[in-house]
Amino acid sequence: MSKYAEFQRAEAELQAAMAKFNKLKEDKAVQRIEEFKEKLAALMAEYQVTDADLMVARGLASEPAQQGRKQIVRSIRRFTRIKTGEVHEGKNPNKDVKAWLAEDGEDGVKIEEI
């Protein structure tokens, strides 16, 4: 494409954008919002209020989150009784697994991290 053709296309796009801009500029709703922004800026200057102060007053600014205690993530373990093949999965041994350990000892129960 020649430079002149590219220039003409850009000029046409610019004219279309300007027409859209002028149409929006004449819209009553847009004019009311612009008027509101001007009045708000004047009031904020008069009362020496910043944007951040206004956001806090409106309840739109979030307070910094308080850091709580980190949760300890415990992995799930599989307890297998070698003698019978019974299996229990959990974070801690339940009463059955404790009984297996009491009967068979640590050699009789296989403990795996999952």
Looking at residue 64, what is its pLDDT?
Answer: 64
Does residue 62 surpass a pLDDT of 80?
Answer: no
Label residues 15-37 b or e (16+ Cβ within 10 Å = b).
eeeeeeeeeeeeeeeeeeeeeee
Whether the predicted model's global pTM rises above the 0.95 cut: no
pLDDT band at 98 (very low <50, low <70, confident <90, very high): very high
Q: Decide: 82 and 103 in contact? Cβ < 8 Å.
A: no
More confident residue, 60 or 93: 93
Residue 71 main-chain phi, psi, to 5 deg: -80, 135
Of 29-33, 48-52, 55-59, 88-92, the range with the highest mean pLDDT is 29-33
Residue 88 DSSP label: E
